[in-house]
Amino acid sequence: MNQFLPYFILLPLLGLVLSALFPNRKEKIIFGISITTVALHTIGLVALSLLWLLNDRPTVFYDGLSLYQTHDSDFSIDFYFDGITSVYAVVASVLTFLVMIFSRSYMHREKGFKRFFNNVLFFYLGLSIVLFSGNFETLFIGWEILGVTSFFLIAFYRDRYLPVKNALKVVSLYRVADAALLLGIWLCHHAFERNITFSELLDPAILNEHFTEEPIYPILISSIFLLAAVVKSAQFPFSSWLPRAMEGPTTSSAIFYGSLSVHIGVFLLLRTFPIWESSEVFRAIVIAIGLITSLLATVTARVQSTVKTQIAYSSIAQIGLMFIEVALGWHTLALIHFTGNAFLRSYQLLVSPSVLSYMIHDQFFNFIAPQHNITNTLWGKLRLTVYMLSIKEWNLDHFMYRFLWNPLKQMGALLAFIPVRAVTFLFVPLFLVGFYFVYNRELLPPAALEYLPSAMAVIGIMLALKAFKARGNAQLSWSLVIMNQLFSALSIGLHEEFEHAQILLFLSGIVVSGIVGFFCLRYLIQAGESISLDRYHGHSYYYPRLTFVFMLAALSLSGFPITPTFIGEDLLLGKIDEHQFLLLGFTALSLILDGLVVFRIYARLFLGPNEKGYHEVAFRSS
């Protein structure tokens, strides 16, 4: 049975590649390929699930391709299938199938018809990888794809301001979840001293063997995965991104934010449940988060005056309950609840435009003027307070800025004393010297070897912070990101013995994408376009192809799994010792910041309204 698993990944991949070959006008072909892919996938899934049930639910594990292997680490693509995979994948494929059919007419003649179907297939591929993944490394690949397709689908109307702004907002948070997942992988790597698979997690013996000596690990690992789950499922305090993600066509909102994407956090909790199952405290934390989210989201849903945000908050509230169910061990209920919520919210979003005529009609016959009976008592005041806080979404959106992004910006501002030119005149030579020592470590005194890695990491993080704060020239920010990546590599290279291949693997993608990115920026400058980062330029209007090329460069520079950089990233991270939390923290932070800066450069230059010439330009507030 396990031999079938890779096909569930290869099929959407094939569909994606095939459908990407046709131009936007070929709506029938693009739709045909997409729907065939999903239909075959659905049939295969149902068959596999039945087969699995009939065989008394065996453990299905596919030991896949090893992308990179050394004595102590093994980056392999493994697949796994169990009841959780089955329920999630069947719901996902049925919903995707339905929504795709819905979209055929709905998206007809849209400029982004092809972009939409490609993105949905890409998303579907990512989701399949997550659901079928056999280890965290594989899951991470799918996870990254989900993040990136979310960005593209939220910013689907890329010539308007709000979609782009909100896409950036969402992807910034996703980046936090990405880093959390990476850290979790790192922790697992150290806890188990190898790359653990999901089937092994089910074996109490393996868990006991590793966890009894270091009881801090299960708590740390679970907490970091919980953070990732909380972000992806828009739980407290990260709830405010979900209503803002409803920027794309209604069908994509229905399938992504109404149902599939937003339930991935619950999936992650189910997957990692064996790790934290025995910790009462941790289960209590999950329950508390679920409960707080449910309560806040449900009162917020009550005051929403727009259809889609109301559905978003109702969905968040139900997912909060699912968190509680998972923590209580009621997994079957959680899966049923997931299924019901996914279908119901998708349906509600799909029909959300009809609410206007339905409700007005209903009102016409049944309207009763509301009573204004708020009393001037403590209870009355509390009600008003809750009302106002709900209108303000409990300040959660504001909270993100205040406690997450602004401090980073302020740190970046503190680095204003480093002149721009220093990047070329100071850091490039510094890097070259450092690089020389990487290959000649014996020349350095041991004391230096102890502190240099951290020093390099600090330089790296300074560059990243500077890039995060920078609002000027895109070339400068782009080079800061590259330099930061290089210094991260340096810090690890100086840190311990390593294989050259690992560093090269890491650098290959960075160097290539870095150069391609520079080329794109030069091209814009030569065409007389502005590349300052203080506003959106919308260059995709006049340069759609360049946009695509730059997007690829940006993705690979931010460590997206399309170049070997991604594997290198994971391997290098693995080099960090279990006690070097500072180094780890810096590396994780610079990963987050790099991603944010790269996405922002892409968004500011190529997305948003283009105001040059005489054509339709959207208002900023639309």
What is the smallest separation between the CB atom of 374 and other proteins, expressed in angstroms?
A: 5
Based on the shown chain and the rule CB under 8 A, indicate whether residue 90 belongs to the binding site for other proteins. no
Tokens of 247: 């920027």
Among 295, 515, 527, 582, binds other proteins (CB under 8 A): 295
Based on the shown chain and the rule CB under 8 A, indicate whether residue 466 belongs to the binding site for other proteins. no
Q: How far apart, in whole angstroms, are the C-alpha atoms of residue 172 and residue 48?
A: 37
Q: How far apart, in whole angstroms, are the C-alpha atoms of residue 580 and residue 291?
A: 35
What is the smallest separation between the CB atom of 528 and other proteins, expressed in angstroms?
A: 13
Residue 485, classified by CB atoms within 10 Å of its CB into exposed (0-12), middle (13-18) or buried (19+), is: buried
Cα 464 to Cα 46, 108, 376, 519, 585: the distances in Å are: 47, 42, 53, 21, 13
Among 128, 150, 239, 250, binds other proteins (CB under 8 A): 250
Based on the shown chain and the rule CB under 8 A, indicate whether residue 472 belongs to the binding site for other proteins. no
Q: Is 281 or 378 the residue whose CB approaches other proteins more closely?
A: 378
> Of residues 94-123, which lie at the interface with other proteins (CB under 8 A)?
94-95, 98, 101-110
61, β-bridge pairs? 80
Q: Is 170 or 456 the residue whose CB approaches other proteins more closely?
A: 170
- How many residues contact other proteins, by CB under 8 A? 109
CB 494 within 8 A of CB 452: yes
75, β-bridge pairs? 68
> Of residues 137-166, which lie at the interface with other proteins (CB under 8 A)?
156-157, 160, 162-163, 166
What is the smallest separation between the CB atom of 353 and other proteins, expressed in angstroms?
A: 5
> Of residues 13-52, which lie at the interface with other proteins (CB under 8 A)?
25, 27
- The residue among 483, 453, 486, 461 whose CA lies nearest residue 408 is 461
> What is the dihedral angle through the alpha carbons of 292, 294, 297, 303, rounded to the nearest 10 degrees?
-110
Based on the shown chain and the rule CB under 8 A, indicate whether residue 417 belongs to the binding site for other proteins. no
Among 205, 369, 416, 443, binds other proteins (CB under 8 A): 369
Which range touches other proteins (CB under 8 A), out of 82-90, 188-196, 292-300, 428-436? 292-300
Which range touches other proteins (CB under 8 A), out of 391-399, 451-459, 487-495, 537-545? 391-399
* DSSP of 494-519: HHS---HHHHHHHHHHHHHHHHHHHH
Based on the shown chain and the rule CB under 8 A, indicate whether residue 263 belongs to the binding site for other proteins. no
CB 251 within 8 A of CB 106: yes
Q: Is 383 or 522 the residue whose CB approaches other proteins more closely?
A: 383
Based on the shown chain and the rule CB under 8 A, indicate whether residue 550 belongs to the binding site for other proteins. no
Residue 80's region, left for phi above 0, alpha for psi from -120 to 50, else beta, is beta
What is the smallest separation between the CB atom of 570 and other proteins, expressed in angstroms?
A: 36
* DSSP of 111-168: TTHHHHHHHHHHHHHHHHHHHHBSBHHHHHHHHHHHHHHHHHHHTSSTTSHHHHHHHH
> Of residues 307-336, which lie at the interface with other proteins (CB under 8 A)?
307-314, 317-318, 321, 336
CB within 8 A of 135, min separation 6: which ones?
A: 76, 78, 80, 195, 196, 197, 198
Based on the shown chain and the rule CB under 8 A, indicate whether residue 133 belongs to the binding site for other proteins. no
Based on the shown chain and the rule CB under 8 A, indicate whether residue 357 belongs to the binding site for other proteins. yes
Among 205, 213, 367, 447, binds other proteins (CB under 8 A): 367
> Of residues 397-416, which lie at the interface with other proteins (CB under 8 A)?
397
Q: How far apart, in whole angstroms, are the C-alpha atoms of residue 526 and residue 134?
A: 48
Q: Is 347 or 498 the residue whose CB approaches other proteins more closely?
A: 347
Among 130, 350, 492, 521, binds other proteins (CB under 8 A): 350
- The residue among 425, 409, 419 whose CA lies nearest residue 597 is 409
Based on the shown chain and the rule CB under 8 A, indicate whether residue 246 belongs to the binding site for other proteins. yes
What is the smallest separation between the CB atom of 609 and other proteins, expressed in angstroms?
A: 8
CB 192 within 8 A of CB 136: no
What is the smallest separation between the CB atom of 424 and other proteins, expressed in angstroms?
A: 28
